Amino acid sequence: MKQKLIDIDNVFRSKNPRLLKLIPGFLLAYLKRIAHENELNSFLEEHSQLSAFEFIDSVLFDEFGAKVFSEGLEKIPQTGKYIIASNHPLGGPDGLALIHEVRKVRSDLIIPVNDLLMNVPNLKEIFIPINKHGSNADNVRIINDTFASESILLYFPAGLVSRKKSGHISDLPWKQTFIKKAIQYQRDIIPTHISGRNSNFFYNLANLREKLKIKSNIEMLYLVNEMYKQRDKTIKITFGNPIPYQTFDKRMSSIAWAQKVREHIYSVEKNPESEFKY
C-alpha cells in the first residue's frame, strides 16, 4: 500500500498530538479496527482511478449492496440555484445515496463536508470543506463562492448524525447557516427526507455519554463501523416541494426558521406533497 489515506495515528497527531502519546497501544489498535482503517485504505487504493460518481456507485452498490430509490425527484429543477436540505440519519451512506439520486437530474452538485472527508481524493471535485473547529479566510471564500454559484447544494443542517431521544430517531436541532445563505444568495430550499437508522449501540452510547456529561462526541468514533452495518439495506429519499427563499422573512429568526424546515422534512416523509407550515 503506497499511502494511508485513512490514518488514525495522523488524525490524532494533527488534532491532538498530546492525546496520541497518552493513548495505550491496545486502545489505538481497537480504534483502527472499528474505523476499518485497513479495509478503507485497501478500497480507496483499488478504486483510486474512479471519478466521483463512479466511486460513489461502487461504494453503495458493489461494496455495500445498498438499494436506493427516491420519490419526488421531478421536484428538482434541472437548472437554477437551490439548496437540498436533508436530515442525516446514517452519517455516510445517506450522503452517498443523496448524491446518487440528485445526480440523475443535476451533475453540478456540491456538498459541504467536514475536513476529514476531504481525505477521499475521488470526491474532492464535489466536496467543499467545512472546518467545525474554526474557520479561515480560504474556507469562508470557498463556501461563499459555492453558494453564489449556479451549482445545486446538498446540505445537512444538523451537522451531525441523527440521535435517538425518547424512543424516536431524529436530527439534532438544525443550524441556521443554510437559512441565512438561502436568503443572501436567493436560493430556494428543497426539503428532503432520507430513511435509515444506526444501531441501538450507537444511540445508547450517545445517550450514556450525555448522561455522564462528556462533551466529546465519542460515539462518532463508531460511525464507520455503523456504515459497515448498513450492508444490503434499503435507503429511500423523499423530495418535497421547493420553499421560496422569500418565505424566510422577519416573522421569525433564522434559527427558528431552520427548526421549522427541520420539522417539515418529517412531514415530507409521510406526504411528499405536504405544504410548508409556519
Give dist(CA 276, CA 278) in Å, integer: 7
Confidence of residue 131 (pLDDT cuts 50, 70, 90): low
Domains in the chain with CATH codes:
1-46 (no CATH), 51-219+232-270 (3.40.1130.10)
Q: Which of 225, 230, 229 is nearest to 35 (CA)?
A: 225
- Give the number of other Cβ atoms within 10 Å of residue 187's Cβ: 22
Half-sphere exposure of 221 (CA within 13 A, CB side): 18
206-262 pLDDT, tens digit each: 999 999 999 888 899 999 999 999 999 999 999 999 999 999 999 999 999 999 999
Average pLDDT over residues 27-43: 92
Higher pLDDT residue, 130 or 69? 69
Residue 78 corresponds to which cell in the numbers above? 434541472
> Contact, 56 vs 99, CB < 8 A?
yes
Is the pLDDT assigned to residue 6 strictly greater than 90? no
Confidence of residue 5 (pLDDT cuts 50, 70, 90): confident
Asked if 189 and 258 touch (Cβ cutoff 8 Å), the reply is: no
Cα–Cα distance, 247 to 267 (Å, whole number) = 18
Residues 94-123: tens digit of each pLDDT: 999 999 999 999 999 999 998 778 888 899
CA dist 192 → 86, 87, 101, 170, 196 (Å): 5, 7, 12, 13, 13
pLDDT at res. 115: 74
pLDDT (0 to 100) of residue 132: 59
Q: So what's the pLDDT on residue 135?
A: 59
pLDDT at 61: 96
| Residue 133: per-residue pLDDT | 54
Mean pLDDT over 139-155 rounds to 94
Interacting residues of 19 by C-beta distance below 8 A, sequence separation 6+: 12
The answer to whether 8 touches 37, Cβ cutoff 8 Å, is: yes
> What pLDDT, on a 0 to 100 scale, did the predictor assign at position 216?
83
Query: For the chain, what is the mean pLDDT?
Result: 93
pLDDT classification of 80: cutoffs 50, 70, 90: very high
Cα distance between residue 118 and residue 44, in whole Å = 13
Looking at residue 119, what is its pLDDT?
A: 80
167-212 confidence digits (pLDDT tens)? 999 999 999 999 999 999 999 999 999 999 999 999 999 999 999 9
Say how far apart CA 210 and CA 131 lie, in whole Å.
23
Asked if residue 26 has pLDDT above 80, the reply is yes
Say what the pTM is: 0.93
Q: What is the pLDDT of residue 2?
A: 60
